[in-house]
Amino acid sequence: MKKMFLLAWAALFLPALLCAQEKIEAPAWNVGDKWVYTGGGTIEVLKSDPTGFVVKFSEAVCVIEGQGFETIVLDKATLHRVHTLKGQKRNKYTMGLKKIFDFPYTPGKQWKDAYFARPIVGPAKGQISLEYYEKFKVLGWEEAAVKAGKFRSLKIEVIRGHEAVPQRWVPPMEVKGFYWYSPNVKYFVKCEYDPDSVKEYRGEVFNWELSSFYLPK
């Protein structure tokens, strides 16, 4: 009887315990945390307060990752992008990748986002405002080997695109990429795009990986 009880308890609660162990919460960043990527791109935490982080993207980071902004404010709990910052002026963040960080992460988690913006790459660059969709999925754990080392990482699929606008001669667009997030590094260690989906954006969209990082505290 006791054995049957233990088996029933395991069947009920073990999956929940395993899921809890796989849940990855938002990292505790500190001022001075910095990540250096191939191609000379850097990302650095400039400021931390009780609600968020101010993060600087260098110009060398792929334009799609920084979305053309130098400084972005991220929510502390989820790391959603909430504002852009120019000097002391904050504006609501309305571009892509707002929810590429969507903590807590768990394997299998899926979420979506949508926004209106003028294209920053491609044949319709800067012409008209388009409605974009974004779909995210945590595929699972992998060991990512990059210049900075080997890291156990969550692989995340990111699909971004918009429908065609025939009256403006704008074709449909969809880009697929994969990001690897390492809890030990506290950021993404690698990004790879599906080559067929970015062939129109050569020179503007490129793969990158972590070459070094600094976590002073």
Q: Is residue 201 included in any domain, yes or no?
A: yes
What six digits make up the tokens of 105? 């992460």
Domain span at residue 130 reads 29-214
- The answer to which of 12-21, 77-86, 133-142, 171-180 has the lowest mean pLDDT is 12-21
Q: Is residue 18 included in any domain, yes or no?
A: no
Between CA 3 and CA 135 the distance in angstroms is 45
**Section 189-214 average pLDDT:** 84
Between CA 100 and CA 97 the distance in angstroms is 5
What six digits make up the tokens of 107? 């394997």
Cβ atoms 211, 39 nearer than 8 A: no
Name residue 149's amino acid. Answer: G
Please enumerate in sequence order all residues whose Cβ is within 8 A of that of 161, keeping only pairs 6 or more positions apart, or say none. 132, 133, 172, 173, 174, 175
CATH of the domain at 93: 2.40.360
Q: Confidence class of residue 16 from pLDDT cuts 50, 70 and 90?
A: very low
Q: Is residue 56 included in any domain, yes or no?
A: yes
Q: Confidence class of residue 135 from pLDDT cuts 50, 70 and 90?
A: very high
Cβ atoms 192, 208 nearer than 8 A: no
Which pLDDT score is estimated for 161?
Answer: 85
What six digits make up the tokens of 174? 């969809």
Between CA 166 and CA 86 the distance in angstroms is 36
Task: Tell me the pLDDT of the chain averaged across its residues.
Answer: 84
β-strand pairing of 173-182 with 89-92? unpaired
Domain count of the fold of the chain: 1
Q: Is residue 130 included in any domain, yes or no?
A: yes
21 pLDDT more than 90: no
Q: What is the pLDDT of residues 84-125, one digit of tens each?
A: 998 889 999 998 899 999 999 999 999 999 998 777 666 666
Q: Confidence class of residue 64 from pLDDT cuts 50, 70 and 90?
A: low
- The answer to which of 13-17, 31-35, 180-184 has the lowest mean pLDDT is 13-17
